[in-house]
A and B are shown apart, each in its own frame.
Chain A
Amino acid sequence: MTRNSLSVADLEERALALRRRVVQMIEKIRVGYLQQGLGAADIFAAVYFGELRLREDDPDWPVRDRCILSTAHNTALLYATFAERGLIAPALLEHYTEDGSPLEVNASERLGSLVEATCGSLGQGLSVAVGMALSLRRQDHPSRVYVILGDGELQEGQVWEAALSAGGHGLGNLCMVIDRNAMQVEGHTDKVVPMDPIGAKFAAFGWNALEIDGNRMAAIVEALDRARGTTDRPTVIVAHTTAGAGVPFLEGQLRHVARITPDEAKRAMDALNGVAA
């Protein structure tokens, strides 16, 4: 059971629902952040449904947990999550990326405080999370702070400044999930800047570092549990994910921005719905 009393099976159902929405949303706009949306669906389901204390009727609830999406472009998945979690009206998803819509390509706080910080300029989310964690701790505030980063983003120097300060301040109320999908605009992250070992780097910076299969729900739930149980230092969950996870013909394709035809979308939906090809 998770913190929010959902089972692993419940969360797997949620992740499937998120994947369906991601495919539908990207199909509608024809090209977008499909691969990372499918790849991180299990992480988002575990964090937003299983872990975060939120109130659907009060997005500004003072003692809500904070979650920052530092890779602010992974929005088909983020908005799908908000809709499935009851935080925004599902009908709003129809207007994803439309002119004037609060559902921008890169999430901004035009959508309200669900977007806890406007990121998009990579490398900044962890610093903001550190600031929140420092202030909430000094205020004896019960909220926890979560931040989701991409692995390519780890190439930004500011991430390591923030990692040093989070470790140095022993921020046990902070949990970072790194979506290790090995994908960046340029291609495979390791061909751009080799980054392994990731967990060991953070461990050396004073973090509780966990490496897991980020597409296995039970592993994510267990890691989030262990993060909560670690109160003397921040936790990083290096979640190894597969781009396009859940749709066999998309799995492993490293495309930062992917185009999907109506036919491919139908095949993807069939795959998600368990219909034999």
Chain B
Amino acid sequence: MTETSIAGMGGFKDAKFYRQEALGARSYGQALLAAAKADERIVCLGADLTQPTETYLFRDQIPERFFMLGIQEANMVGVAGGMARAGDIPFAHSFCVFITRRVYDQIAMQAAYPKLPVKLVGFIPGLATELGVSHQAIDDIALMRALPNMAVIEPSGPEQIGAALTAALDYDGPVYLRLSIARAKPDETTPLVPLELGKGLVVREGTDVAILASGSMVAQALAAADQLAELGISATVANMASLKPFDTALVERLARQHPAMITAENHSIIGGLGSAVAETLALAGVATRFAMVGVRDVFAEGGTTPYLMEKYGLTARHIAEKAVELHRRR
């Protein structure tokens, strides 16, 4: 990528400062390392999960700014608040459940209330893990959305990870970054996807149904759109990576332009993307046929990702079925 093309992506007021390496990175670990090389205020905090949180590059290349706190997430969040108050920009890492639900009060008081640049980075969103209910974050977005000052970002995948990191840095306040563990080497040929805080991104244009998705469900939504196209149903897909602030204008516009709307998230349907869209529609007074694909107010169990996605109704097929159902209801 050239400097010019980055500038053209929009929304990155500090893009040059954080350098194109961060923006163009396709793994979180690379993006963080690149940003930290450009900005000495960035410090990295870990709670025993260096490998799965992709912070080993940082640890090995900038050891003087890497702080391993051990298995103590509550203390880590307080420490991050203290470091931010001393002028640093701490990135604190754990799994999604442990960096949100486990330490909610610490986040509220030591990051959100004082609006400090504490970046909370969680891995393993939603049901995508064999580790079971203890490690499945089905309410993390709901919790983080409810905190004043907190921004919530869930990129669609490696193609949006660099943009997600720079967006988190561009926001002068606390951020929850919800990330998936990379399962394979990222495809370097797919185009990078920008991310502007407070903006959704239409990634496929259609007319019959609008599917609004976040994180790994963006790919499922696009696959659902393919399936729907075979049935003669034209779907719009939007990537709602900025879960807070939320692009209510886009939601409202898509609701007016489409007779049906579906949300798709690897999270409870209570308090996450589905709720954010429903709140937006109700407050805007826009009526549309509406359905939510997500975890339906249940705890799950450990299992392979395909098994869990199928069992809990989180696949492209489930999205497509909902769309067909809404489409027929006219």
- How far, in angstroms, from A118 to B112 measured CA to CA in the complex? 11
CB of B172 within 8 A of chain A?
no
Give chain B residues whose Cβ lies under 8 Å from the Cβ of A248. none
User: Are B79 and A121 in contact, CB atoms less than 8 angstroms apart?
Assistant: no
Rounded to whole angstroms, the CA-CA distance of A121 and B111 in the bound complex is 13
Binary B-proximity of A83-95 (CB < 8 A = 1, otherwise 0)? 0000000000000
Select one of B69, B70, B109 contacting A119, CB under 8 A. Answer: B109
A135–B65 Cα distance when bound, in Å, is 9
A66-B85, A124-B106 known, 10 other contacts, Cβ within 8 Å: A119-B109, A120-B109, A127-B78, A131-B82, A134-B67, A134-B79, A134-B82, A136-B86, A162-B78, A165-B69
User: Is there contact, CB below 8 Å, between B77 and A127?
Assistant: yes
CB distance from A175 to the nearest CB of B (A): 15
Interface flags for A173-207 (1: CB within 8 Å of B; 0: not) read 00000000000000000000000000000000000
Return the chain B residue nearest A131 by Cβ.
Answer: B82
Most buried by A among B74, B82, B88: B82
User: Of A117, A128, A138, A165, which is within 8 A of B70 by CB?
Assistant: A165
Give the complex CA separation of A134 and B43 in angstroms.
11
B64 touches A138 (CB 8 A): yes
Whether the pair B86, A127 counts as a contact (CB closer than 8 A) is no
Interface residues of B in 254-274 (CB under 8 A from A): none
Cβ of A165: which chain B residues have Cβ within 8 Å of it? 69-70, 72, 75, 79
Q: Contact: B82 with A117, CB < 8 Å?
A: yes
Let me know if B250 is at the binding interface, CB within 8 A.
Answer: no
User: What class of interface size applies to chain B in its complex with A?
Assistant: 20 to 34
Among A135, A139, A141: residue with most chain B CB under 10 A: A135
User: Considering only CB atoms and an 8 Å cut-off, how many residues of chain A contact the other chain?
Assistant: 30
Is the CB of A133 closer than 8 A to any CB of chain B?
yes
Q: How far is the CA of A130 from the CA of B81 in the complex (A)?
A: 10
Whether B109 contacts A133 by the Cβ 8 Å rule is: no
Report the nearest A residue to B45, measured CB to CB: A131
Is A157 part of the binding interface, using a Cβ–Cβ cutoff of 8 Å?
Answer: yes
Q: Which residue of B lies closest to A143 (CB)?
A: B86
Which A residues touch B307, using CB under 8 A? none
* CB of B211 within 8 Å of the partner chain: no
A165 to B81, CA, bound (A): 15
> How far, in angstroms, from A164 to B67 measured CA to CA in the complex?
14
